[in-house]
Amino acid sequence: DGGITQSPKYLFRKEGQNVTLSCEQNLNHDAMYWYRQDPGQGLRLIYYSQIVNDFQKGDIAEGYSVSREKKESFPLTVTSAQKNPTAFYLCASKPLAGGYNEQFFGPGTRLTVL
């Protein structure tokens, strides 16, 4: 089955600790995205990547870091510099070829910082 997996589904961390959220896709999509969603709000872009070893900041990149060493993987690290990290994090991917502007989303990771 092709799709996007995010792990874990729920994550708890103590304040001041860095934490890495996993995102893997087997759709052979070139572009991958990380979004943050707070209760009752829409999705806000953290980072996105169109090719391996390249990524761009979104609207709320401060306190986050990413890497794109493989096409299938786009992990997100929430650093201790992120002032309010508790949120629902969503990973998405999209093919660049074919003219399709449709994102496919993973199931999300809910991060709670205690």
CA–CA dist 29, 9 (Å, integer):
22
Contact 24, 4 (CB under 8 A): yes
- Using CB under 8 A as the binding rule, whether residue 100 contacts other proteins is answered as yes
- Using CB under 8 A as the binding rule, whether residue 15 contacts other proteins is answered as no
- Using CB under 8 A as the binding rule, whether residue 45 contacts other proteins is answered as yes
- Residue 99 CB coordination number (10 Å): 6
Taking the least distance from each CB to other proteins, the nearer of 8 and 17 is 8
Question: Measured from the CB of residue 80, what is the shortest distance to other proteins in angstroms?
Answer: 26
Interface residue with other proteins, options 33, 34, 64, 74 (CB under 8 A):
33
